[in-house]
Structure 1
Amino acid sequence: MLGLLTILVGSPRTAAAHPLHTAVTELRLESDGALSLRVRTFADDFSAAVARATRTAVLPNHRVSDAAATRYVASAVRLQVAGVAVAWRLVAQRRDGDVTWLEFRAERSWPSLRDARFVNRMLMEFHADQVNVLKAQYDGRSFTTLFSRGEGAKALP
């Protein structure tokens, strides 16, 4: 009977889980060269992926230490400008309900994102149907693209 109930209702994790596996990343280059990256992701997925990737414990309420979050994002989200990797530092991490927001700033300023390539593999090792959205604003333009499992870096137009 329990087996039939599980088939009809789903596992407790599936029943309580959110139906979308997505993260949204906002990349912004200011006129003064300041480069920022904001990431919005579901806290439960993010904490589980970070724990697995960094071999660290998930803190209560799906919290993630700043150091572990930085290591994971640095391994999964990459921006290269003219062949030079952008180094990021975490400036804020906050929770809003079931969502974690992360904000990073580039270690140095960038005059332009010309010849830039971006990849976002966050949570793709965790969910086969993960889709990550990039919303970029730079050089007076806006650009949006999607990343799914197996895709490599994409050039920013």
Structure 2
Amino acid sequence: MSTIIRLLPTLIGLVIGTVLYVQGERLTRRAQELATANETITTLQTANGQMDSELKTLLREDAALRQLLAHQNAALTELDQQQRKTADDLQHALATPPAGRPDCAREPLPVGALRLLQPAKGPGAHPGGEAPTAARAGAPLPGA
């Protein structure tokens, strides 16, 4: 037993040394993992900061583009109103004859024009009731 008692401090020292060595290795590995994790965190923070600045830039551009779009919509609305007013004025001017000119839209059609608008009386019949003639240069138009 005396040998065991003499070897006991050596054995205890050996066990403690082994435990310390293993714990040291674990601590070294954990320190390396922590360094890698810190690098990853730093990289992610940098990327996050860049994305944040890009997002802020895009939001500013979005606001500017929306403002420009609103301005262009207002200009288009004004242009459309001007175009409609011009079209209405033109339509009114075309519908109203000049002063001193007859208003053909409200006058009845002449008899000759009404006769031309009548349907034909039979197949191949001439609307004027006359036999059709061959068209030649200088010939009068039917019904004239």
Shorter-chain TM-score above 0.5: no
Higher strand share: 1
TM-score grouping bracket, smaller chain normalisation: under 0.3
Higher helix share: 2
- Normalised TM-score (structure 2): 0.17
- Normalised TM-score (structure 1): 0.16
Name the larger-Rg structure.
2
